Structure 1
């Protein structure tokens, strides 16, 4: 009996050692590389549809009514009114305000803004990463290119995640900016897969020189996903801003909590 217990403990310790030796990024790569296999049920669904033809008219009517209501609500929520706006030279350039200015402001304004950001983050001594972002904005719309790179020391593994997003800036207030966007994410370093991505975010300009922001991004890769949550604070120094905060990443089934620090520059 004692020998069986000893053998079980040894096997358990070996499994734990192998799991730790594999590392977080290797497990994340396995999750993101796995493709789900789903069987088609089109033939059975088509036969069921033939049996329910009598209900189609009433379902279509209700669908049209609710579809019209949802459409109008969605357009209002997602896009809002298209009021004219401009950019200030940079946040707090002419008082206590954020990024957006009204047309009648008698201060230097611009219609295009390019922001370059670089953020370093770390989770303990063995796991760290870097996030480089370019964001070109035209008041209402923006094109965002982002490269997120993860590093692990033991074992030595890397994982690169690149994305291109089209953002719509739904809230363009003088102290609040909020946006949503959609695009594509590509995962390299052996995974080599591309999937759909979406994101939402908000920045609040409290009082010169501080602001806070949060964002959520999800990318669908095969049967898994990459989730990114950021909560940060900024200290604005004219066109520069220093930022720091908390990042949470979920790479497939692997979760990573990290502290971050970085810098932004607005052209």
Structure 2
């Protein structure tokens, strides 16, 4: 039995599947899932809720109290929340983003650009660029903008997909060698999709040894009932107010996923 036609057909389907990833993401983001659940359950029990008002209010107050301290923290009891923003990591040779006793500032810009590469064959390659800028106001809050541009080349044809993220962030833990926080905002997918959804993210930095740190973040979004998720982890080498980065980035845009090695350069202003 001649297996060559089957081999070439399998190979063709293999690479064709890759070249369809961006187009498949666009197609799924433009197709809204229908919910066929029966919503006929409309029970209208009339109960006397007045007996439960006091207990309900107590539960709500307790929930809000715990939520506030879980998210914002207790500035009277948690000393790390008073650690001030540094001019840049390792400016004093010891601390990361927070806690510098001599190198302190009230505003800082973190600017970073990373190149994404995923080469899977001689006729197919996937690559991209991730630009990020973060404006920090003292140690309390920051705004972050991300622009992710993805490209696929297959047999001379190129497909592209831009993603924009706008977030406000708050670092809940602000230790000298570790910080952890959350972000909330919006994700916009451009090109022929042109749709926006709510975004929620988590971010952490660990300053391991002098001049080296580990940076990781994850973002979840829902656009047109489809998942848009980004995850990245990278190691950074800091030298004065600049850094070099090497890492890994995973994106899920609807059902297709994209895996990239990343190399980047950044500055603190």
**What TM-score does the superposition give when structure 2 sets the normalisation length?**
0.84
Shift of 1:58: 6.4
* C-alpha distance 40-58 of structure 1, shift in aligned 2 (>3 A): farther
The CA distance in 1 between the partners of 2:249 and 2:240, in whole Å, is 25
Residue in structure 2 matched with residue 142 of structure 1 by the alignment: 142
| Aligned ranges 1:247-262 → 2 under 5 Å | 247-262=249-264
Residue in structure 1 matched with residue 96 of structure 2 by the alignment: 98
CA contact (8 A) 2:83 2:176 kept: no
The CA distance in 1 between the partners of 2:160 and 2:50, in whole Å, is 55
* C-alpha distance 59-264 of structure 1, shift in aligned 2 (>3 A): farther
Q: Does 1:112 align with 2:107?
A: yes
Deviations 1:86-116 (A, max 9, x none): 22221111131111126xx3x1321111011
The CA distance in 1 between the partners of 2:149 and 2:18, in whole Å, is 21
* C-alpha distance 122-61 of structure 1, shift in aligned 2 (>3 A): farther
- What is the CA RMSD across the aligned residues, in angstroms? 2.8
Residue in structure 1 matched with residue 176 of structure 2 by the alignment: 174
Residue in structure 2 matched with residue 131 of structure 1 by the alignment: 130
The CA distance in 1 between the partners of 2:268 and 2:211, in whole Å, is 15
CA contact (8 A) 2:19 2:153 kept: no
List alignment gaps of at least 5 residues for structure 1. Answer: 1-8
* C-alpha distance 264-253 of structure 1, shift in aligned 2 (>3 A): same
Deviates more, 1:152-161 or 1:88-97: 88-97
- Which protein is richer in helix relative to its size? 1
* C-alpha distance 110-27 of structure 1, shift in aligned 2 (>3 A): same
- Secondary structure at 2:82's aligned position in 1? coil
Deviations 1:5-42 (A, max 9, x none): xxxx89x8699379537521001111111123347977
Aligned length: 253
Deviates more, 1:236-245 or 1:87-96: 87-96
The CA distance in 2 between the partners of 1:122 and 1:28, in whole Å, is 18
Deviates more, 1:162-171 or 1:84-93: 84-93
List alignment gaps of at least 5 residues for structure 2. Answer: 1-5, 76-80
Shift of 1:69: 3.2
- Secondary structure at 1:73's aligned position in 2? helix
**What TM-score does the superposition give when structure 1 sets the normalisation length?**
0.85
- Secondary structure at 1:36's aligned position in 2? coil
* C-alpha distance 63-261 of structure 1, shift in aligned 2 (>3 A): farther
Q: Does 1:68 align with 2:58?
A: no
The CA distance in 1 between the partners of 2:119 and 2:18, in whole Å, is 16
Shift of 1:72: 2.3
